[in-house]
Structure 1
Amino acid sequence: MSKRDEKDEILEQAVAMKRWMVEIRRDFHQYPELGREEFRTQEKIIRLLDEMGIPYQTNIAHTAVVGFIKGKHEGKTVALRADMDALPIDDAKDVPYRSKVPGKMHACGHDAHTTILLGAAKILNDMRAQLKGNVKLFFQPAEETFGGAESMIEAGVMENPKVDAVFGLHVSPEMPTGEIGLKFGQMNASSDSIKITLHGKSTHGAYPHSGVDTIMMAGQVINALQTIVSRNVDPRDSAVVTLGKINGGTQGNIIADKVEMVGTVRTLDPNVRERVLERIEKIVLQVAEAMGGSGEVLRKKGYTALINHDEMVESVKANAEALLGPDKVKIIKSPSLGVEDFAYFLQEAPGAFYRLGCRNEEKGMIHDGHNGLFDVDEDCLEIGVALQVKNVLRVLGKE
């Protein structure tokens, strides 16, 4: 059998599972669960793994499930990851599989990701006697909220046996079904939440000279913070400083003695990340002091930047071109300033994260993620399954 025939055979197996996968995906879609609350989702995954005869572990990272396929022959270990949490959004679609849970919806495609991993598991498990190595199946909670990837890593999922390569995907409503998006190097930004508190002195509005006005102070701080990107960051680098919430004062005729501001910082380079945060702290403290008050900055460290390993991207590229044709593989030029906690897996092992086209204008699948009208063209499921299987086989090989 030629390599081309083998690739066709794997895709044919995925296509043959289409109805099974659609039923699974639509069930997940009707019963979405938020991060660390994926109990029903976990139960369904367990039930399906039991039906396949795939062993698994569940006593890790809240609702995570880690399946394990042991090949007949010794070799490397490859991990495949799917996030499985939903978003706190009302489902606005008029479809039979619309969410049955008010205020919760799979608006980012994690139901499709989980289904694709189950489909890949089914094919790989059926060919385990030919595998030279092992496959770990990471069903991850809380990608949208608490960073379930980091919790899974802390629980030891990358060890025993040690993971040699890891692959993940994300459906992309910007790309038509049948296309794959690849990014070498940096693909997603890091994020940090910041809370700025300014302290002054309250007094009657008729006697401003007797107080320290934190409203005025906040205005100066906000203006100064916007100079960080334009004057402290190399124009060839990327950084975003956003203040999305401000609160202060009690009455219109009283000088406010306290203002709180909450925002985010997003960067692509770790050195730029620390430099921006350092400048934020200095500006807040020094502007506040210059105006007779004081300030403090509380940083909550968010996701790290997602940086693909180029050799693994090349591997996915070769598989995707053979499976779909070179014209269907698109190289993404610019990284996204959105975040993705698959980044933590890539800090532990070589791997690649890529985009799976799911847009279909004829079917009305045209809406962006995190939108109440978001949906995926289910024809992307079989493509995702076949490509993930091929990614595993390129690392492990077969007898």
Structure 2
Amino acid sequence: MTSAPVPADPPPIDPALRAALEAELDDAVALRHALHRDPRLSGDEADSRDQVLAALGDLGTPELVADTGAMLRLGAPADAGRPAVAVRAELDALPVVERTGLPYSATGSVAHVCGHDVHVAALVAVVRAMGRVGHTGPAPLLAVFQPREEKAPSGASDVAADPRFAAHEVGAMLGVHVQPELPRGTVSVRGGPVNASADEIEIEVHGRAGHGGYPHRTRDPVLALAQIVAGVHHIVSRRVDPMTAGVITLGQLQAGSAPNVVPETATARGTVRALDASRDELLAALREVVESTARAYGCTATLTVVPNEPAVVNDEALARTVARALGSRRATDGNGAGTDGLVLDTTFRSCGADDFSHYGEVLPSLMLFVGAADAGTTPGAGPGLHHPEFSPDDAMVGEVARALLAAVTAAGAALAPTADPVAAAAPNA
């Protein structure tokens, strides 16, 4: 996999394209409301996909992908030999009962509490704006409306492996996510790992059942599991380099059916995440702690690992390209704000996970984070991603769309035949 080249200077955004984007935002917000009001779970996004395609109108011929997703290309056709810039937006929602009280709140047991409705509406605004002005971007644009980000089997993995996606010769893949851990008006762009890998785990401890009044006749799996839980949470603090990031979370424990019975089995379920810690070393240490602790209490234990997503690793050159473009648009008013109303951050990363990582395994990719913590609030203090009360306000559609437009323009220029090969070889921006 070759990194995206770096142009010498960030290209300006066509003023007509910028104006066209602003003109699309009201309709994009209306689309966001429609998607938010009637969300769909992973694997059931066909209705949401069709709403998106209806909003795109006759801008091109969509291709269905990953069962309930779709792709739409603007600019030179796929057989023209021009590498495209692709942008991913997620269609699915979560099995959560929403508590936002918004007039367009979902009323069932499914809700957009991760911001995917904002991402989709923002991408639709960018596509429609480019269609309105006849696509003035420096490279073709491939909009990917992807299903199944929240649940395996991964929609991103399916799209990345699809020959129809490969036929577009994507040279750079972009994604965006609203982020309540960042202040409003901030867009974070950096190279390297920015989201962690995530694997699901199940620990099952087997003991000897018996009467609670005769514990010496039993081998208590509950006690063994309790010690395993305590031991597991020391792995990161004592087995992982403190300069790297990883986390083990056990979020579900289950044992027994009566208060006076020592059960035969006890189970725990959770996740293992590695940002720049070694994923393999974390899992190996976990297995050692689980098996040896159970054995110390006269029990046996099994660890089952269900691999999910690898880490999201941003392409270094592509990150420099986009960061340079966003940074060059800073105003001279002393507060670092750009002409797009965005402040560039190059530090944020988290142990959240995203199946966007699968694109990065086959082509240069970049995930951007757009701040969602309102002014006057402490980032991360309010309802976060997946919380029943999390819902960015409508202005976030425009903020995400402006960040995407800047990123698409910069990445497209890097892929254009006129990209400066000398600058592309530069080690730093």
- Common fold: TM-score over 0.5: yes
Give the Å deviation of 1:4. 8.1
Structure 2 residue 263 is the aligned partner of structure 1 residue 250: no
SS at match of 2:318: helix
User: What do residues 123-172 of structure 1 show as CA deviations (whole Å, max 9, x unaligned)?
Assistant: 33345575564321110112122232112223335411321101111123
Whether the 8 Å contact between 2:17 and 2:136 is mirrored in structure 1 is no
Q: Residue type matched to 1:253 in 2? A: N
Listed as ranges, the matches of 1:234-245 within 5 Å are 234-245=241-252
> Which moves more between the two structures, 150-159 or 365-374?
365-374
SS at match of 1:354: strand
CA 1:372–1:286 in 2, change beyond 3 Å: closer, same or farther?
closer
CA distance in 1, matches of 2:278, 2:376: 43
CA distance in 2, matches of 1:11, 1:129: 12
Structure 2 residue 122 is the aligned partner of structure 1 residue 116: yes
Choose between structure 1 and 2 for higher RCO, CA contacts under 8 A separated by at least 6 residues. Answer: 2
Q: Residue type matched to 2:60 in 1? A: I
Which of 390, 401, 410 aligns to 1:385? It is 401
Q: Which residue of 2 aligns with 1:329?
A: 343
Q: Which residue of 2 aligns with 1:348?
A: 362
CA distance in 2, matches of 1:372, 1:252: 33
Which of 369, 372, 387 aligns to 2:385? It is 369
CA 1:37–1:128 in 2, change beyond 3 Å: closer, same or farther?
same
SS at match of 2:35: helix
Q: Residue type matched to 2:406 in 1? A: K
CA distance in 1, matches of 2:81, 2:299: 66
Q: Cα RMSD over matched residues?
A: 2.8
Listed as ranges, the matches of 1:222-241 within 5 Å are 222-241=229-248
Whether the 8 Å contact between 1:4 and 1:322 is mirrored in structure 2 is no
Listed as ranges, the matches of 1:1-399 within 5 Å are 6-49=13-56, 51-58=57-64, 60-71=65-76, 74-99=81-106, 101-127=107-133, 133-146=139-152, 147-269=154-276, 272-323=278-329, 325=331, 326-327=336-337, 328-361=342-375, 367-397=383-413
Q: Residue type matched to 2:50 in 1? A: E
CA distance in 2, matches of 1:94, 1:205: 48
CA 1:5–1:235 in 2, change beyond 3 Å: closer, same or farther?
closer
Q: Residue type matched to 2:141 in 1? A: V
Give the Å deviation of 1:82. 0.4
CA 1:203–1:390 in 2, change beyond 3 Å: closer, same or farther?
closer
Q: Residue type matched to 1:345 in 2? A: Y
User: What do residues 11-36 of structure 1 show as CA deviations (whole Å, max 9, x unaligned)?
Assistant: 22211112221211111121111111
CA distance in 1, matches of 2:262, 2:135: 75
Whether the 8 Å contact between 2:11 and 2:410 is mirrored in structure 1 is no
Give the Å deviation of 1:360. 4.3
User: What do residues 250-303 of structure 1 show as CA deviations (whole Å, max 9, x unaligned)?
Assistant: 33333322111112111113x621111111112222232333321111111122
Is there any run of 5+ residues in structure 2 with no aligned partner, and where? 1-9, 419-429
> Which moves more between the two structures, 89-98 or 137-146?
89-98
Give the Å deviation of 1:318. 2.4
> Which moves more between the two structures, 190-199 or 368-377?
368-377
CA distance in 1, matches of 2:14, 2:138: 18
CA distance in 1, matches of 2:186, 2:53: 31
User: What do residues 42-99 of structure 1 show as CA deviations (whole Å, max 9, x unaligned)?
Assistant: 11122233x23311111x3121111122427752211111012112223333433222
CA distance in 2, matches of 1:360, 1:15: 21
SS at match of 1:139: strand
Whether the 8 Å contact between 1:323 and 1:387 is mirrored in structure 2 is no
More helix by share: 1
Q: Residue type matched to 1:33 in 2? A: R
Give the Å deviation of 1:239. 1.9
> Which moves more between the two structures, 87-96 or 257-266?
87-96
Is there any run of 5+ residues in structure 1 with no aligned partner, and where? none
CA 1:226–1:107 in 2, change beyond 3 Å: closer, same or farther?
closer
CA 1:261–1:373 in 2, change beyond 3 Å: closer, same or farther?
closer
Give the Å deviation of 1:179. 2.6
CA distance in 2, matches of 1:108, 1:279: 32
Query: What is the aligned residue count?
Result: 393
CA distance in 2, matches of 1:367, 1:284: 34
TM-score, length-scaled by structure 2: 0.83
CA 1:204–1:95 in 2, change beyond 3 Å: closer, same or farther?
closer
Give the Å deviation of 1:336. 0.5
Q: Which residue of 1 aligns with 2:427?
A: none
Whether the 8 Å contact between 2:184 and 2:375 is mirrored in structure 1 is no
TM-score, length-scaled by structure 1: 0.88
Identical counterparts, % of pairs: 25
SS at match of 2:397: helix
Whether the 8 Å contact between 2:123 and 2:143 is mirrored in structure 1 is yes
